[in-house]
Amino acid sequence: MARASTLHRRPAPMGAGRLLARVALGSTGLAAILLLLVYPLVSFLLLAVFPGLFGQSGQGFSLAAFAQALDGYALQSVLNSLAIGLSSGALAVGLGLYVSWLTQRTTLSVRRLVDGAVWLLLLTPSYLLAIGWLVLTQHGGLLNQAGLHWGWLEAAFSGPIGVALVLAVKHIPFAYLAIAPSWNTIGGELEEAAQVHGIRGGQATLLLAKLLLPAIAAAFAVVFAEALSDFGVAATLGASSNVPLLTYSIYRALYANPLNFPLAAASSWILLALAGIAVWAQARVNRRAAAYAVLSGRGRLARRVVLGGYGKAVAWFSLGLLGLVALAIPALATVFMSFTKVLGDGLNWANLGLDNYQTVLRQGDLLGPLTYSGMLAGLAATTALVLALVLASVLSSGSRLARGLDVVLLGTLALPGLVLAAGYIFAYNQPFLPLYGTSLLLGMAYAAGAMPSSSRILLGPLTQLHHSLGEAARVHGVSGLGVLRRITLPLLAQPLLYAWLLAASGIVFELPASELLYPPGQPPLAVALLKSVHNFDFGLSTALEVVAVAIVVGTVWLIRAVVTRLLPPNWQRRLNEQHSH
Amino acid sequence: MSSIHIEAAFKCFGSVKALDRVSLTAQPGEFVVLLGPSGSGKTTLLRAVAGLERLDGGAIWRGEELVEAPALGLHLPPEVRRLGMVFQEYALWPHLTVLENVALPLRERRLGSWRELAQEALEGVGLEALTQRLPHQLSGGQQQRVALARAIASHPQVLLFDEPLSNLDAQLREELRLLIARLTHQHSITALYITHDQSEAFFLADKLGVMREGQLLQFDRPEVVYHRPAHPFVARFTGAQGGLEAYQEGLRLHLNTMVVQQQAARTGRMRVYFRPESLRLHHQPHPQALLAVVSHCAYQGQHYQSWLMLEDATLVQAPSPQRLQAGERVWLEPHPDHLFVFAEGDE
């Protein structure tokens, strides 16, 4: 055969480089997952049944910690969390359903406004909302200052109702985002088919409601799990109003004397089990719903309800009220309190001024935490992003390792930050890993917390690159470096920037890991804020909060502006624009 | 002009044989189409030619140059194989304009005339007025035209097509397959095109291969594949119908009441296929015809198409000059020279 002579014409280039890169990526991703997530979590959770692990005082296998976790204060916290999780879940889902109906199925033009508010609420840490309500309603708070003594409101916010309300409004975005897309899928032709076939009134509503059920179940499960895992409200409103919640009881067990790791671990199991049941039930509903999923994407758009004058008035009023309760009241209360000179001197012009801001900006012990958190946030977000990029690359390859990592990452997305932080205290306070009490460990916890969500953000763009865009470049002769310079970097620049900004701004205000892991004498921002709230330094704490929010928002804006100016225009075109068409 | 020669290509994904010793040659300037259902291995073969997939065994030559030979540890990366490729999902770079998309591979090759070449390619596909648009501002058909322009801009000698028309509607498909045929012939490009659409395959192919479960069942001129399918699956996949039970004894084939003379002698149970257009319809009993009952009849413009139920419940189609009534009894006479007869075990 003539061709046989060409067999040895060209030396065989090794695929070894590519293989090596793949192995390096895979092992880096695996190591990150094992060290940052699996090891601390597993070792901590094992303590619930093996209290003697790593030289702890207990011995062998024991269920005593679970008995403790289902008794007294701990049991009360479980029951409270369950009741509050269920009620805030129901409230948030009801409100999310109503708001999403307004934006998706009526002619009311509020979509942009609602979307903006939803994202703002989603990004606002729950403890900031709680602090807002606290400074307003607490005895001696803003309302009292204004001469308003509304005992019922004070009573509500120093009990379970306030806790459930704040948790519900905080989590409306989850319900809204889970339900809103479904309104469109059940509309259009399905609705018309019901009409054409003579199904009317209540029967038609019931038919469509059944189709919405999976979205409602998903929304409820997410809100329930999130409310149950929340530490911000538990550590502020919950703690000050003597409504012990499960996350706070885990925190208490870790700060009890003597410190009770097994109890914290057993309570964490209960927390994970309750959240897990909700997610499992939702998955069941979804699986059943998937069996009759016939959505083709070619359906006609749903017809929108035209609201009359009265309907519009009701809609605007209800949305306004919701906006007030969810965002405006806590924000205004915070800002107002920050300008109040002396608590107790009443609400008058003479008692308003910039004194708190002067103190905050002058005192190192108040501004220090903000600088410290900002610095750690920058470093941890960068680390998280590098690891997320590695993980997303592994995930986009579709290998067996990728599928395994995907399961772990999805699991940790739903993992309460407090449980992970508790795991860090135990796992990294060992003679062979003495990192507890260092900034390094706090930074690691921050990075671990941000890593799963960042990797999901980067997964979409990376998968598309992996599957066709990069391949198209290589087939057409673009070199590896060319692909990186002309395709990969331009397409990833924007997702990377947003993922970093999201991670960093989240870390600055992060509470559970900060509270459990901060180095002695170096409190991060969230810890400093909560400390001054607990000391009733409302003026200083709110001023610090306003300064911190202003600096973070300003920094995000500045970075965006600078990057927008520096990046070439085609680096800023969004990847998903192609699909939005 | 350059040929593509594939010798005993072999590839496994876990326990699944994606390619089972496939061999074929696309001569210089020839348009080769591989037809097969999903999972037949055609995409894997195309990707192996592109260098996007590594073979486990066999070899691939581009002209006289060996580009893939696992036994020798040889795998030329895609970027040095000097190919063009049109992807099913277009794979246009969303951040680059139409002109930039077409020009990028040319600029990477440091061609001084990249702008002229890109413009020329875009004129070739009729998109010269949209050079500054971004991909998301184009329709699906326009996006695929850009992808085609990108693939031909550098005048590659070999062009690969990965089901490029499957995401488009019928009218656009027809328009674009004509454009593809015109451009590849105009530039004397050797093309390897995969599809699961038989009309597309017959329209474009100089040579047609039919694949199933990693095997190339037949590779020949489309006329030969159509008139002399080498395998029952090839017959079925290219539109033949029937699969009727028959028995052959020497040269005589017994099909129901019919006896048909065959050219090659053999004995045993057979399966018989035929094409709709080879059937003659009788309204009276006929000794060399099969009894059928009209199930449905539809007007098709030039003729009527009827769906007919045979005695063994096999449903077949046949054209008729006038409308038949449902329930009507007719007799179908297959043209004896156009019967595809396969031994029972050939499947």
Q: Is A242 left (phi over 0), alpha (psi -120 to 50) or beta?
A: left
Q: Which residue has the tokens 């994970």?
A: A272
Q: What is the mean pLDDT of residues A109-137?
A: 91
Residues contacting residue B107 through CB under 8 Å, at least 6 positions apart:
B114
Residue A112 distance to chain B (closest CA, Å): 23
**Is A571 in Cβ contact with B95 (below 8 Å)?**
yes
Count of A-B CB contacts under 8 Å = 120
β-bridge mates for residue B252, sequence order = B249, B261
Is residue B295 within 8 Å of residue B246, measured between CB atoms? no
Residues in B touching A480 (Cβ below 8 Å): 79
Q: What is the mean pLDDT of residues B190-197?
A: 96
Superfamily of domain A72-353: MetI-like (1.10.3720.10)
Mean pLDDT comparison of A189-203, A567-581, B33-47, B77-91, highest-scoring range: B33-47
With vertex at residue B128, the alpha carbon angle to CA B125 and CA B134, rounded to the nearest 5 degrees, is 95
Does the interface ipTM go beyond 0.95?
A: no
Nearest Cβ partner for A7 among B72, B77, B78: B72
Q: Which residue has the tokens 């004894």?
A: B249
Cβ of residue A297 closer than 8 Å to a chain B Cβ: no
**Is B5 in Cβ contact with A473 (below 8 Å)?**
no
Q: What is the pLDDT of residue A188?
A: 65
Q: Where in chain A is the domain with CATH 1.10.3720.10?
A: 72-353, 356-581
**Is B77 in Cβ contact with A13 (below 8 Å)?**
yes
Q: What is the pLDDT of residue A254?
A: 87
Please determine, looking at this structure, whether the domain spanning B242-346 carries the CATH number 2.40.50.140: yes
pLDDT digits (tens, 9 = 90+) for B148-180: 999 999 888 899 999 999 888 888 899 999 999
Q: What is the mean pLDDT of residues A236-256?
A: 88
Nearest Cβ partner for B66 among A6, A477, A482: A6
- The mean-pLDDT minimum among A105-114, A182-191, A343-352, B307-316 falls in A182-191
State chain A's mean pLDDT as an integer.
Answer: 84
Residue A396 distance to chain B (closest CA, Å): 16
C-alpha distances (whole Å) from A36 to each of A390, A459, A497 are 14, 20, 23
Residues in A touching B5 (Cβ below 8 Å): 3
Q: What is the pLDDT of residue B223?
A: 96
C-alpha distances (whole Å) from A404 to each of A21, A29, A398, A411, A526 are 19, 11, 10, 11, 34
Residue B203 distance to chain A (closest CA, Å): 26
Q: What is the pLDDT of residue B221?
A: 97
Residues in B touching A10 (Cβ below 8 Å): 65-66, 74, 76
Q: What is the pTM of this model?
A: 0.77
Q: What is the mean pLDDT of residues A121-128?
A: 92
Residues in A touching B105 (Cβ below 8 Å): 473, 476-478
**Is B61 in Cβ contact with A472 (below 8 Å)?**
no
Cα separation, B96 vs B93, in Å, equals 6
Cα separation, A115 vs B78, in Å, equals 44
Q: Residue B18's Cα: distance from chain center in Å?
A: 18
Q: What is the pLDDT of residue A290?
A: 63
Statement: residue A11 has pLDDT above 70: no
Q: What is the mean pLDDT of residues A58-72?
A: 84
Cβ of residue B110 closer than 8 Å to a chain A Cβ: no
Q: What is the pLDDT of residue A7?
A: 40
Strands of the sheet containing B16-26, edge to edge, are B16-26, B4-13, B57-62, B65-69, B74-75
With vertex at residue B35, the alpha carbon angle to CA B32 and CA B38, rounded to the nearest 5 degrees, is 140
**Is A13 in Cβ contact with B75 (below 8 Å)?**
yes
Question: Which A positions 483-542 lie with beta carbon below 8 A of chain B?
Answer: 486-487, 490-491
**Is A490 in Cβ contact with B91 (below 8 Å)?**
no
SS3 assignment, position B58: strand
Q: What are phi and psi of B162, to 5 degrees?
A: -105, 90
pLDDT digits (tens, 9 = 90+) for A460-498: 888 777 668 888 888 888 887 888 888 888 888 888 998
Statement: residue A576 has pLDDT above 60: no
Cα separation, A186 vs A294, in Å, equals 11
**Is A468 in Cβ contact with B136 (below 8 Å)?**
no
CATH of domain A356-581: 1.10.3720.10
Interface test with B, best of A403, A471, A476 (most B CBs within 10 A): A476
Statement: residue A293 has pLDDT above 70: no
Q: What is the pLDDT of residue A296?
A: 42
Q: What is the pLDDT of residue A300?
A: 54
Q: What is the pLDDT of residue A574?
A: 53
Q: What is the mean pLDDT of residues A364-386?
A: 91
pLDDT digits (tens, 9 = 90+) for B110-154: 888 899 999 999 999 999 999 999 888 899 899 999 999 999 998
Statement: residue B14 has pLDDT above 50: yes
Cβ of residue A482 closer than 8 Å to a chain B Cβ: yes
* B142/A294: higher pLDDT: B142
Residues contacting residue B227 through CB under 8 Å, at least 6 positions apart:
B338
Residues in B touching A17 (Cβ below 8 Å): none
Which band of pLDDT confidence, cut at 50, 70 and 90, is reported for residue A387? very high
pLDDT digits (tens, 9 = 90+) for A509-558: 999 999 999 999 899 999 999 998 888 888 888 999 999 999 999 999 99
Question: Which A positions 457-476 lie with beta carbon below 8 A of chain B?
Answer: 468-469, 471-476
Q: Which helix (H) or strand (E) holds B43?
A: helix B42-50
Output the six-digit token pair for B13.
Answer: 């994904």
Statement: residue A575 has pLDDT above 60: no
Domain layout of chain B by residue ranges: 4-236, 242-346
Cα separation, A42 vs A54, in Å, equals 13
Q: What is the pLDDT of residue B218?
A: 97
Cα separation, A384 vs A370, in Å, equals 20
Please name which of A160, A145, A73 lies closest in space to residue A341, comparing C-alpha atoms: A145
Please determine, looking at this structure, whether the domain spanning B4-236 carries the CATH number 3.40.50.300: yes
Task: Report the percentage of chain B scoring pLDDT > 90.
Answer: 75
Statement: residue A502 has pLDDT above 80: yes
Q: Which helix (H) or strand (E) holds B207?
A: strand B207-212
**How many CB atoms lie under 10 A from the CB of residue A44?**
24
Cα separation, A139 vs A134, in Å, equals 9
